[in-house]
């Protein structure tokens, strides 16, 4: 019964998390586009009021005219919309989902005893420390190096090193699937913390100064913009880390940490292309196609690297497998979680009828995605996966 309710919690939290993430990423991408596409106001009145940029757009049958005041508007409007609940809701729903999916049964989902044979409580504590320590180190780098000359380049290089080190450590401490998700959660935590500790407080300080009739210090807007820019480059790497845990050929590779780093780097490079593309249209920078080409080249390289090598197996080895050959493999690798004593996810494979019912799922998860057995806890071999594949391709017969 517990498994049933956990599945429902997982489904509903995942649904909520995707919805809020779409809202957060969408608003983030829109404002990056907006900042990159603004041009000096044509109206002299707007310039006299302190407006620094404007944009005309058409959408949904109407025309829109956003105007930006880089420091402060001439007067505060009666209604001011704040963008922060998209971030907070995404993090809260994501952390709840991480708790239900991984921390609740850490011994099964978080721990890979072939890497680190530690108690579940210790694994949970270590996983949570990734979220906190990464934020503290990242924030320290931004505080210390950001204001210096060439600060953005130095911060970018140091954060890259920090992400690489964290990825290596996570993939050597935790089960591969959990490690990828943890790295994504780690970066996403920093993104939401940027909103909580820097972007929103800076905006509130500016609003308070305007209400009090005091001069507005532009440093608050500059700091908020810096963290907002960081967030937009974090977005695609985080999305890859979150989605890739459904594909065993990524996190199950012996050099999974390098797969993760390369794909996140590719995501950041592609995001750079889209950010700079808006400026190129206005003649502010050269065409950023090089960044996209680098990102795509890295992805193609990883695909080629992970491609399964053809084997010179004999015709006998390639022959279709029957249930009699398959049953001993299932008994050794699958029955302890999907047998008479325990049916995780309501899946039972120790009867011909149950195996036939779930044949498609067995093939997809054990052969195609290689996500089962979870963390390969039972040590299934590639040859045994191939046998399951031949059985399914032969019609999944159970007699």
Per-residue confidence in pLDDT tens, the chain, 399 aa: 677 888 889 899 999 999 999 999 999 999 999 999 999 999 999 999 999 999 999 999 999 999 999 888 988 998 999 999 999 999 999 999 999 989 998 988 899 888 999 999 999 999 999 999 999 999 999 999 988 888 899 999 999 999 999 999 999 999 999 999 999 999 999 999 999 999 999 999 999 999 998 999 999 988 999 999 999 999 999 999 999 888 888 988 889 999 999 999 999 999 999 999 989 989 999 999 999 999 999 999 999 999 877 655 444 455 667 888 888 888 888 888 898 877 777 788 888 888 888 888 888 888 877 778 877 778 888 888 888 888 888 888 877
pTM for the whole structure = 0.85
pLDDT at 149: 83
Bridge partners of 59?
62
Cβ–Cβ under 8 Å, residues 285 and 184: no
Residue count (the chain): 399
pLDDT at 226: 92
**Which residues contact residue 359 at a Cβ distance below 8 angstroms, ignoring those fewer than 6 apart?**
392, 396
Give the SS3 label for residue 70.
coil
pLDDT at 315: 45
Distance CA(167)–CA(178), nearest Å, equals: 11
pLDDT at 320: 63
Give the SS3 label for residue 317.
coil
Containing H/E element for 108?
Answer: helix 106-109
């Amino acid at each position: 019964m517990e498994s049933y309710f956990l599945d429902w919690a997982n489904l509903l939290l995942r649904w909520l998390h995707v919805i809020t993430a779409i809202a957060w990423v969408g608003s983030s991408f829109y404002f990056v586009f907006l900042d990159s596409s603004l041009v000096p106001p044509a109206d002299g009145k707007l310039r006299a009021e302190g407006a620094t940029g404007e944009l005309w757009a058409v959408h949904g049958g109407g025309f829109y005219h956003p105007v930006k005041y880089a420091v402060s508007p001439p007067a505060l409007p009666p209604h001011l919309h704040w963008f922060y609940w998209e971030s907070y809701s995404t993090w809260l729903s994501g952390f709840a989902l991480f708790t239900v999916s991984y921390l609740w049964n850490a011994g099964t989902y978080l721990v890979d005893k072939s890497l680190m044979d530690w108690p579940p409580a210790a694994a949970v504590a270590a996983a949570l420390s990734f979220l906190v320590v990464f934020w503290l180190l990242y924030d320290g780098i931004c505080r210390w190096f950001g204001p210096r000359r060439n600060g953005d380049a130095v911060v970018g290089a140091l954060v890259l090193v920090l992400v690489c080190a964290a990825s290596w450590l996570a993939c050597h401490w935790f089960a591969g699937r959990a490690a990828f998700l943890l790295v994504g959660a780690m970066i996403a935590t920093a993104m939401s913390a940027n909103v909580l500790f820097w972007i929103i407080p800076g905006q509130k300080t500016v609003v308070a100064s305007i209400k009090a009739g005091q001069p507005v210090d532009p440093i608050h807007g500059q700091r908020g913009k810096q963290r907002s820019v960081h967030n937009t480059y974090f977005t695609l790497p985080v999305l890859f880390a979150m989605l890739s845990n459904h594909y065993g050929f990524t996190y199950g590779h012996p050099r999974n940490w390098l797969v993760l780093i390369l794909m996140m780097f590719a995501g950041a490079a592609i995001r750079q292309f889209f950010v700079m593309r808006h400026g190129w249209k206005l003649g502010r920078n050269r065409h950023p196609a090089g960044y996209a080409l680098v990102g795509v080249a890295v992805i193609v390289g990883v695909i080629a690297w992970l491609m399964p090598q053809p084997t010179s197996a004999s015709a006998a080895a390639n022959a279709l497998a029957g249930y009699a050959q398959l049953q001993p493999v299932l008994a050794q690798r699958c029955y302890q979680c999907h047998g008479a004593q325990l049916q995780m996810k309501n899946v039972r494979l120790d009867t011909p009828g149950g195996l036939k019912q779930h044949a498609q799922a067995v093939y997809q998860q054990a052969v195609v995605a290689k996500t089962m057995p979870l963390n390969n806890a039972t040590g299934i071999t590639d040859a045994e996966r191939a046998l399951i594949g031949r059985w399914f391709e032969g019609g999944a017969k159970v007699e």
